[in-house]
Amino acid sequence: MSELTTLPQSNNDADLDAASASVQRVSEKVQLITEAVKNLHQNRTQLEGKIEDAQKRIQHILSRLPEQSDGRQMNLLGEAIPPNNPEDDSEPTTH
């Protein structure tokens, strides 16, 4: 007849405690990884928004450029530029 071999209870408890501790460590690591992924997703979303805004600003600037056939200088920053009068082309004199 066969006999059941039983391990001492103290070994089972120690194994169970070790397994429980391992599960706890893995669970904490999974939580940290989940938070890191969430933060990376938020950062990516913010960067995508910044890229989109920059592309819109660039497109706005490009839309303000004169045609290639237009020889005038274009002020892309919107600052006032005094008109260039042909009669004022001489060098200023100092007296």
Query: pLDDT tens across 24-82, in order?
Result: 999 999 999 999 999 999 999 999 999 999 999 999 999 888 776 666 665 656 665 56
Q: Is 55 part of a structural domain of the chain?
A: yes
Residue 71 domain flag:
no
Give a yes or no: residue 95 inside a domain. Answer: no
Quote the CA–CA distance of 64 and 52 in Å, as a whole number: 19
**Secondary structure letter of residue 37 according to DSSP:** H
| Amino acid letter, 18 | A
Domain membership of residue 52 (yes or no) is yes
The number of folded domains in the chain is 1
Residue 4 domain-assigned (yes or no): no
Tell whether 84 is covered by a domain.
Answer: no
Residue 64 makes CB contacts below 8 A (sequence gap 6+) with 74, 76
Q: What's the token pair of residue 90? A: 């001489």
Residue 29 lies in a domain: yes
**Domain ranges, residue 59:** 21-65
Of 43 and 95, the structure prediction assigns the larger pLDDT to 43
Q: What is the pTM of this model?
A: 0.50
